Amino acid sequence: MVGLQNQTKPQTRVVQKETDIVDHFTFLNSHCVWSSTRSADKQSHNEDSCMAMELGPRSGVLAVADGAGGHALGDYASALQIDCLITALQKDSVDAQNLREPILNAIEECNRQLLLEGKGSATTITVLEIQDNIVRPYHVGDSSAIITGQRGLLKLQTLSHSPVALGIEAGLLEPEAATSSDERHLVFNLVGTEEMRIEIGAPITLSKFDTVLLCSDGLTDNLLLEHITEIIRKGPTQNQAEQLRQLCLESMKKETGHVDDLTLMVARGLGH
């Protein structure tokens, strides 16, 4: 299930659907595109959810959640996380200029509900808070936020909470080897677990032509970071999203590919 919410007060528009095409929308006066696809070779249905929510003229949130494969009701867990975010951010007491508290509360509330239900369901979550041209990432698990400049400068890559990501970060594993590792699906930090922890990144200042990408691990498990950043750093965002989607689906068909859901959101123009 995919929840895409584009809120311009006082109206709220919510769309929930699965799509095999790249669609576009306006977010904080920037151009955004998104797509959520289930690989034809994946047995279960789409377990990803995503959200775009405006809370003021220059304030908003982007989020991608990926229900944990191998856990019960992964689609339910990711949709619940998005619903918790929407509920927390829509409260009258929320200050649109300070979204840290409601974002953290929403993640913790989803974790509490999933544990209380005791069904074993879990999800990742990656959130970007946008305030004017400043963004701050929050994440649990291995969905990713990536920001690159027009010339390819990597301004942000969230570190996935997985053994493979830590191996790459420590220099013990080459990125090329990671895409074919049998452990790339393992995640040690999930919403819906007693040990859940939220990683909060430092604020990042966006420039006019910086590109922001949020995605589930269906993308990063199939394409190298350098390939992703080279595609998204220039050209129309809709073309970038379509190219990423097609390359990723082609990779999933290979023996070394990782069959999974693929959700991505690409935005440019948030920094002006």
**pLDDT by 10-residue block (mean), the chain, 272 residues:** 50 43 84 81 78 90 87 85 94 90 98 95 96 96 93 90 64 58 73 96 94 93 91 91 92 82 91 67
Distance CA 6, CA 28 (A): 10
Distance CA 56, CA 60 (A): 7
Predicted local distance difference test score (pLDDT) of residue 117: 94
- Residue identified by tokens 């949130």 is 61
SS3 percent helix, strand, coil of the chain, rounded to 5, is 25, 30, 40
Predicted local distance difference test score (pLDDT) of residue 11: 34
Residue partners of 238: CB distance under 8 A and separation at least 6: 22, 24, 33
Q: How many residues does the chain have?
A: 272
How many other C-beta atoms lie within 10 A of the C-beta of residue 48? Answer: 32
Cα distances (Å, whole numbers) of residue 86 to 22, 89, 251: 23, 5, 34
Evaluate whether 245 touches 236 at the Cβ level (below 8 Å): no
Distance CA 244, CA 267 (A): 14
The superfamily CATH assigns to domain 3-268 is: PPM-type phosphatase domain (3.60.40.10)
Predicted local distance difference test score (pLDDT) of residue 271: 67
pTM as predicted:
0.88
